[in-house]
Chain A
């Protein structure tokens, strides 16, 4: 996989990115590129290294080896610039439950130094789009989980980042809400924002432009869902995942 030409205009560009915790290698020399406006899926079982990879790309964790650029900025040298260019929504969901929807939007607006008018405009737009106008001043805690997650995504996009990282954004949500959430992701990508999303729901892989399947810290497969299925002669990504995960389970 190392033969790819270095694409400097890539939204995300990772080369041999590695993270070790003591003797354990959580992420093992992964390399990939994500094009601007792409929806890139990071698939893998729990503990396969998806979250560790995202934490390195967002500047939460320093890599042990390898390098990466995000929005053209080196994650090790230019982490401040990286932070200004990205949005992030963690699997544990980043809204404050004892604040209202509007207060959460205002808080993040302030953190990203948006003007007061911008924050007010964008808040109205977000609340309208999510149909949350009536609940804008309710505590987030009292909103249904699906709404909270859609709100969290909107807040992560508030400062209009070039790239947004979504770490298992759909965990614990019903299928219908997951569907709506993915519509929101598509809208985002259509607006030119690059989306890197991790999931362990294999059916969600079909929604991505390209996917990488991580097994034990390495990228075991990378490509469009259709080409991967064809290449490996499987009917679904789920089948492919099982086939890839099994031999690795007993090294």
Chain B
């Protein structure tokens, strides 16, 4: 037991004395949250709106005001003619436009459905889709208020209700994925590198020649990273809560336990990768390609799994981060517990078991 304690202490010293890496590891989770939270938001503020209003009347003015009133829109141009619109959209001065027909108020009064075009710049599809939705919501509300008496004339607009993320805050969605990313980085990448480093310097042989058992060597190497990983989960959650007010509907204990499970999976992956490589450089590339990229691309963090081609959807089943992201989203945003998440947890637990066994085995195998 004291041998193991010595190993853990030694590994901790390695980490603490490599100040540069240690700083990166500490600052990374916090920096990532802030970066994703502030810079890479997909929700939209102050959409630049152009208004084409050939003959302004009371109703067109009312609708224009309604757009401006929400704070979401900023009217950048009002013009009587459609001809100016092209230039506004192409130059990017306007991102969206509403086009009234002449006699908008009369049409409303006659109980005809008045013609109104909404033109949206969808060069960035996600933002475009959001803007389309916002405009639809504003117009719908206007219609409800403007024509309460004449039920028949109300246009039927498909109603979109946003569930689980009612404010459509992208920060709520990125935190689970970000945790997976940070944990993969710390657990898989750092472990792979630190074991490969001992192979490079030859110190691993001194450990393997000693009476230490392979599992002791592995636990001694990865133990400190488990703690760092766990600390970074807490750091990400704290910053997300304090700075972005990301909700945490479900059980914190369950969330941390699932985090631990995911760390175990990542650590085992790191050990596996390092057992197949003999240099830090190769271990790093292996970890980046084998764990970071799948976590980034196939976990549903950046690209929704439902919109992937079928083969990639199938592949994503093998990516541990996919299940972890699902679990975290469930706990944080929907507030569900193990009753709903047992399947995902079981899959993640199975992966942990298989990978842990494989990593201890591969450590044995390298003796031959």
Interface assignment of A201: CB less than 8 Å from any CB of chain B:
no
Interface assignment of A188: CB less than 8 Å from any CB of chain B:
no
Q: Is there an interface contact between B367 and A98, defined as CB atoms closer than 8 Å?
A: no
Binds B, one of A88-96, A126-134, A243-251: A88-96
Residues of the A chain whose Cβ atoms lie less than 8 Å from the Cβ of B335: none
Q: Give the complex CA separation of A111 and B207 in angstroms.
A: 8
Q: Is there an interface contact between B206 and A90, defined as CB atoms closer than 8 Å?
A: yes
Give me 30 A-to-B residue pairs in the complex whose CB atoms sit less than 8 angstroms apart, sorted by A's number.
A60-B205, A60-B208, A60-B367, A62-B367, A62-B368, A88-B209, A90-B205, A90-B206, A91-B202, A92-B201, A92-B202, A92-B205, A93-B202, A94-B203, A94-B206, A95-B203, A96-B203, A97-B201, A98-B13, A103-B13, A107-B7, A110-B2, A110-B3, A110-B5, A111-B7, A111-B207, A112-B3, A113-B2, A139-B17, A156-B206
Q: Is there an interface contact between A96 and B10, defined as CB atoms closer than 8 Å?
A: yes
Binary contact readout B1-34 vs A (1 if CB under 8 angstroms, 0 otherwise): 0110111011001100110000000000000000
Interface assignment of B210: CB less than 8 Å from any CB of chain A:
yes
Interface assignment of B70: CB less than 8 Å from any CB of chain A:
no
Q: Is there an interface contact between B211 and A83, defined as CB atoms closer than 8 Å?
A: yes
Q: How far is the CB of A63 from chain B (nearest CB, A)?
A: 10
Binary contact readout A83-120 vs B (1 if CB under 8 angstroms, 0 otherwise): 11010111111111111000100111111110000000
Residues of A within 8 Å of B, CB-based: how many?
32
Q: Is there an interface contact between A110 and B18, defined as CB atoms closer than 8 Å?
A: no
Knowing A59-B367, A95-B203 touch, does A83 contact B210 (C-beta < 8 A)?
yes
Q: How far is the CB of B333 from chain A (nearest CB, A)?
A: 43
Q: Give the complex CA separation of A139 and B18 in angstroms.
A: 13
Name the prevailing secondary structure of the B interface residues: helix
Q: How far is the CB of A108 from chain B (nearest CB, A)?
A: 8
Q: How far is the CB of A152 from chain B (nearest CB, A)?
A: 9
Binary contact readout A49-88 vs B (1 if CB under 8 angstroms, 0 otherwise): 0000000001111100000000000000000100110101
Residue of A nearest to B212 (CB): A111
Q: Give the complex CA separation of A88 and B202 in angstroms.
A: 12
Residues of the A chain whose Cβ atoms lie less than 8 Å from the Cβ of B209: 58-60, 83, 86, 88
Q: Is there an interface contact between B368 and A61, defined as CB atoms closer than 8 Å?
A: yes
Q: Is there an interface contact between B17 and A88, defined as CB atoms closer than 8 Å?
A: no
Q: Is there an interface contact between A98 and B18, defined as CB atoms closer than 8 Å?
A: yes
Q: Is there an interface contact between A106 and B18, defined as CB atoms closer than 8 Å?
A: no
Residues of the A chain whose Cβ atoms lie less than 8 Å from the Cβ of B2: 110, 113
Q: Give the complex CA separation of A139 and B209 in angstroms.
A: 24
Q: B3, B14, B211, B367: which contacts A96 (Cβ < 8 A)?
A: B14
